[in-house]
């Protein structure tokens, strides 16, 4: 009897234990297997509320869940779980304005960035001359005459160090070029050569070309410069991708010229599994509508993954730059009272071209630096309000863009908002230009320059980019500039026109979510949320709380792209 009772009790206890463990076993069995878990982090989701989470579950190329570490570990299991150890995670950076292939190519040319004087620039050119055969072209970029005393250099300066090699050097902004006598000769430029529309051949007191070519005049020489080889462009793309990886840039919106030659190279890298950025490529606004449509049709025939390689905006130029005094201004430059800059075309031409392209449903992105150029573009976009697209029966909603939007007349800020025009801006321009911007603009116009806070306060979408190779690709530099408006040495105290500073949270959103909006991809990327593409950066420092100067010392600890860890910082 006792044996029977003991056996019964044992069975009851065993059954009770099974029931008690059942929820845990059932929970374990219900945990979904995913490809990657990131836990114990500080996840800035980049949503409009600035939400913070702790963990992310990723399956394949997509995020499947975001939450606390406890929630994610209870619901998911993975072959690889990464303990973030409280490090900050954000979406991957999206550079909304970049010249990606030209940037990579610039790393292969004579680098004149930071040349402190004319002698130093000439020495760098001379060094390259010593490396090549006579007759070979010497190409470079990055020079800036402002720290050299402000006077333009001349062809004679280059003739001294390169008498047997044609030399063609782009200014840091890419809008003015410096050529020697041999390069001018090969282009057929003489004192009789007329200035092209939208450009100027700078001449000396005797009317002779002095070697400085502004805006479209540079094309007179560039058309005779030999095209880079396929191998050289492949190397340029490889270098650009390495630079992007170094800075956690996972998406780019790029103006490559000519774009029709860049696309096959991106496609080649994509098929080989080497394209580690998502590419939104721009076509050329100045091309005919027929050519633009033909290029679109040819592109569509390849059926590329649209989240890896796509065509978006048509990029055009309305004016030049402040540094070269070629930006189109409503009034003359304060330090050059007889010069109001160089519009690339008349207002009538611009509006006609905008309307023609908008009618075909194309998004338009226009380079505008000066207040006159910005107004010309806004006038053109306003003319599209009553345009009925050739394909569709409603207003356009094409998210037209103004690139740079550097100097805007005060009355025009609200027009950006009213016309729903995106202001694509590059914060590092402000801290590079501030040393001479007020001289160019005067004490009043400068108050509405580089005004991203004012734009945002009007409800304008403001994606951030770098304009590389005009500025470094480094997005941390852009974040620092946006929140401080100081040079990297902390000057001036409190910031240059500090009213235009923004929070670090807004700056990160502008580099991520706003960039996705600008390319019609806000439902696919730009935030850390379920369903989004899994492009993430883990940072070495917590950008949300560090002192601004420490932003410049931050770098990626890890980069996740398309759901895969593609970079991990080497421990020092």
Give pLDDT tens digits for 494-529: 999 999 999 999 999 999 999 999 999 999 999 999
| pLDDT confidence bin for 478, thresholds 50/70/90 | very high
Instruction: Check whether the bond before 258 is cis (ω within 30° of 0).
Output: yes
Q: Is residue 562 within 8 Å of 534, Cβ to Cβ?
A: yes
pLDDT higher than threshold 80 for residue 397: no
- Residue 324: both structure tokens together: 């070269």
- How much is the pLDDT for 570? 87
pLDDT at 396 over 50: no
Nearest to 407 by CA among 506, 511, 318, 314: 318
DSSP-based three-state secondary structure for 38: strand
Backbone dihedral angles phi then psi of residue 81, each to the nearest 5 degrees: -120, 125
Q: Is the pLDDT of residue 20 over 90?
A: no
pLDDT digits (tens, 9 = 90+) for 293-342: 999 999 999 999 999 999 999 999 999 999 999 999 999 999 999 999 99
Q: What is the mean pLDDT of residues 438-460?
A: 97
CA separation (Å) from 245 to 60, 106, 249, 569? 20, 17, 6, 11
| pLDDT reading at 10 higher than 80 | no
What was the pLDDT predicted at 309?
Answer: 97
pLDDT surpasses 80 at 346: yes
pLDDT of residue 546: 98
What's the whole-model pTM score? 0.90
Categorize the per-residue pLDDT at 91 as very low, low, confident or very high, splitting at 50, 70 and 90. Answer: very high
Give the C-alpha separation, 425 to 477, whole Å.
Answer: 14
Residue 21 has pLDDT above 90, yes or no: no
Tell me the pLDDT band of 427, cut-offs 50, 70 and 90: very high
**Cα–Cα–Cα angle for 269, 272, 278, nearest 5°?**
45
Using N-to-C axis directions, what is the helix angle for 289-300 and 347-359, rounded to 10°?
40
% of the chain residues with pLDDT over 70: 92
Hey, where are the domains in the chain?
243-523
Which region among 176-180, 260-264, 338-342, 502-506 has the lowest average model confidence (pLDDT)?
Answer: 260-264
In this prediction, residue 399 has a pLDDT band, given cuts at 50, 70 and 90, of very high
Average pLDDT (453-459) is 98
Gap between the Cα atoms of 271 and 139, Å rounded: 31
b vs e for 325-354, b when ≥16 Cβ sit within 10 Å of the residue's Cβ?
A: bbbbbeeebbeeeeebbbbbbebeebbebb
Mean pLDDT of the region 226-245: 95
Whole-number mean pLDDT of the chain?
92
Rounded to 10 degrees, the C-alpha dihedral 464/470/474/476 comes to -50
Structurally, what CATH architecture does the domain formed by 243-523 represent?
A: Alpha-Beta Barrel (3.20)
């Amino acid at each position: 009897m006792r044996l029977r009772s003991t056996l019964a009790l044992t069975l009851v206890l065993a059954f009770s234990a099974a029931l008690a463990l059942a929820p845990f076993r059932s929970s374990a069995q219900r945990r979904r297997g995913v490809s990657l878990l990131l836990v114990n982090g500080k996840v800035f989701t980049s949503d409009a509320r600035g939400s913070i989470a702790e963990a992310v579950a990723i399956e394949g190329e997509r995020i499947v869940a975001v939450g606390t570490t406890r929630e994610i570990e209870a619901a998911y299991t993975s072959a690889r779980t990464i303990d973030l150890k409280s490090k900050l995670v954000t979406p991957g950076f999206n550079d909304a304005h970049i010249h990606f292939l030209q940037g990579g190519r610039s790393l292969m040319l004579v680098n004149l960035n930071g040349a402190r004087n004319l002698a130093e620039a000439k020495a760098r050119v001379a060094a390259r001359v010593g490396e090549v055969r006579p007759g070979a072209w010497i190409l470079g970029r990055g020079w800036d005459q402002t720290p050299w005393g402000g006077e333009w250099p001349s062809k004679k300066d280059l003739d001294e160090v390169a008498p047997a090699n044609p030399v063609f050097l782009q200014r840091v902004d890419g809008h003015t070029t410096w050529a020697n006598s041999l390069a001018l000769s090969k282009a057929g430029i003489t004192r009789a050569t007329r200035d092209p529309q939208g450009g100027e051949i700078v001449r000396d007191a005797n009317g002779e070309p002095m070697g400085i070519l502004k805006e479209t005049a540079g094309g007179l020489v560039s058309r005779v410069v030999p095209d880079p080889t396929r191998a050289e462009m492949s190397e340029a793309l490889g270098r650009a991708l390495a630079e992007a990886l170094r800075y956690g840039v996972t998406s780019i919106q790029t103006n490559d010229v000519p774009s029709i030659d860049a696309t096959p190279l991106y496609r080649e890298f994509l098929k080989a599994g080497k394209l580690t950025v998502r590419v939104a490529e721009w076509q050329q606004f100045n091309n005919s509508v027929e050519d633009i449509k033909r290029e679109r049709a040819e592109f569509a025939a390849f059926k590329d993954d649209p989240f890896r390689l796509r065509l978006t905006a048509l990029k055009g130029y309305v004016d030049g730059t402040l540094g070269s005094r070629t930006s189109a201004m409503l009034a003359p430059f304060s330090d050059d009272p007889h010069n109001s800059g160089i519009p690339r075309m008349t207002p009538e031409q611009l509006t006609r071209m905008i309307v023609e392209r908008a009618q075909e449903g194309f998004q338009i992105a226009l380079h505008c630096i000066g207040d006159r150029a910005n107004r010309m573009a806004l006038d053109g976009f306003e003319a599209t309000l009553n345009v009925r697209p050739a394909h569709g029966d409603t207003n356009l909603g094409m998210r037209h863009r103004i690139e740079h939007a550097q100097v805007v007349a005060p009355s025009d800020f609200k027009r950006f908002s009213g016309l729903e025009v995106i202001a694509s801006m590059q914060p590092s321009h402000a801290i590079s230009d501030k040393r001479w911007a007020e001289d160019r603009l005067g004490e009043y116009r400068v108050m509405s320059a580089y005004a991203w806070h004012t734009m945002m306060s009007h409800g304008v979408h403001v994606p951030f980019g770098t304009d590389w190779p005009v500025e470094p690709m480094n997005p941390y530099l852009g974040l620092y500039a946006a929140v401080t408006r100081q040079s990297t040495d902390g000057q001036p105290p409190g910031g240059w026109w500090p009213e235009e500073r923004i929070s670090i949270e807004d700056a990160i959103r502008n580099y991520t979510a706003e960039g996705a909006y600008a390319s019609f991809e806000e439902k696919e990327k730009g935030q850390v949320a379920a369903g989004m593409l899994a492009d993430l950066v883990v940072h070495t420092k917590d950008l949300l709380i560090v002192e601004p100067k420490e932003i410049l010392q931050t770098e990626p600890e890890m980069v996740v792209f398309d759901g895969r860890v593609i970079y991990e910082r080497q421990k020092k």
